[in-house]
Amino acid sequence: MRIGFIGLGMMGHHMVANLQKNGHELVVFDVRREAGEEALSRGARWAETPADAARQSEIVMTSLPGPKEVELVALGENGVLAGAAAGLIYVDVSTSSPTLIRRIHQVMGERGVRVADAPVSGGVIGAEEATLQIMVGCDADLFDVISPVLRGIGDKITYIGDVGAGEVAKLCHNQLALVVQQAVAEALTLGTKAGIAPEKLLEAIRGGAYGRSGGGIGPGLERTTLQGDWDRPRFALSLARKDLGLATDLASEFGVPMPLAAAAEQALIECLNRGWGGKDMTAAFALQEDRARVQVRVKAPAKT
């Protein structure tokens, strides 16, 4: 299938590579031409604009930082819509706004373009290994059409519901992860400052009822967070703040109180004000360490 792919960042360039491995013909675009060099070396064609990508494709996929970029690329001057013919399929795999993708669905639908939101979860490793969870919102019959393409980038593809439903599911997922991260930071800084060795504290928590459920205290905690490994962003803190902000905006839209999410969002904003936006999202743990005036570190686990 001829696929136009727009957005070749940390996630997007791996998704493009996997789509190429699955035999699809790729047309790529990014604001940085150099981001497309690997894909071009494997036979992809370069598009000069998102509109140009749309003219050459049966499906256009976008993987972008957030709603502002999605709206510009989808509906802006020289955007996807400007080059779209009736019958084109537009699939946004970004973490973005449910309200925006529903508007895009309406506007593009008037031109005969079918739209799906399919945000992904699994991080850079999941993108590289094609093991992403993909949360799809679209018409049911369109899901059947795009599923073979999505199977090239993920192994867990879930039909959530109508357009926008995938974004709602992704925002709920990220809201939970980011709020739990703050709760874990509070518990570990409290126990450490009260005199318990972090390794023993983790052993006690993991052996208890909460720990046995696995929430927020998986093995990655020792490998990254408790090593103070903030400077190699696996998921940038600025993007985490964007996602949590989208979740709290959605909560306001539907009248859902979320005081813990609001507190976690304020912590991320404080991190941004410290200039930490380019660090990994787990750098928010360092904010709690600073507040508690204690550092929580463990011996790095052996590599398996």
Cβ pair 136, 160 in contact under 8 A: yes
Catalytic machinery residues: 170
Residue 267 structural domain: 168-292
- Residue type present at position 94: S
Alpha carbons 74 and 64: distance in angstroms, whole number: 11
How many domains are there within the chain?
2
- CA dist 90 to 81, 83, 97, 199, Å? 9, 12, 16, 48
- Residue type present at position 1: M
Q: Could you report the per-residue pLDDT of 230-247, keeping only the tens digit for each? A: 999 999 999 999 999 999
| 64 within a domain of the structure (yes/no) | yes
Shared domain for 12 and 45, answered yes or no, is yes
Shared domain for 46 and 177, answered yes or no, is no
Shared domain for 200 and 254, answered yes or no, is yes
Shared domain for 114 and 185, answered yes or no, is no
Shared domain for 143 and 220, answered yes or no, is no
Shared domain for 158 and 176, answered yes or no, is no
Shared domain for 121 and 42, answered yes or no, is yes
Shared domain for 186 and 236, answered yes or no, is yes
Shared domain for 39 and 130, answered yes or no, is yes
Q: Could you report the per-residue pLDDT of 11-60, keeping only the tens digit for each? A: 999 999 999 999 999 999 999 999 999 999 999 999 999 999 999 999 99
We report the CATH number of the domain holding residue 37 as 3.40.50.720
Please provide the DSSP assignment of 91-139 as one string.
EE-S---HHHHHHHHHHHHTTT-EEEE--EESHHHHHHHT-EEEEEES-
Over the chain (304 residues), what is each successive 10-residue block's mean pLDDT? 97 98 98 96 98 98 97 98 98 98 98 98 96 98 98 97 98 95 94 95 94 84 91 94 96 95 96 97 95 94 73
| 299 within a domain of the structure (yes/no) | no
| 11 within a domain of the structure (yes/no) | yes
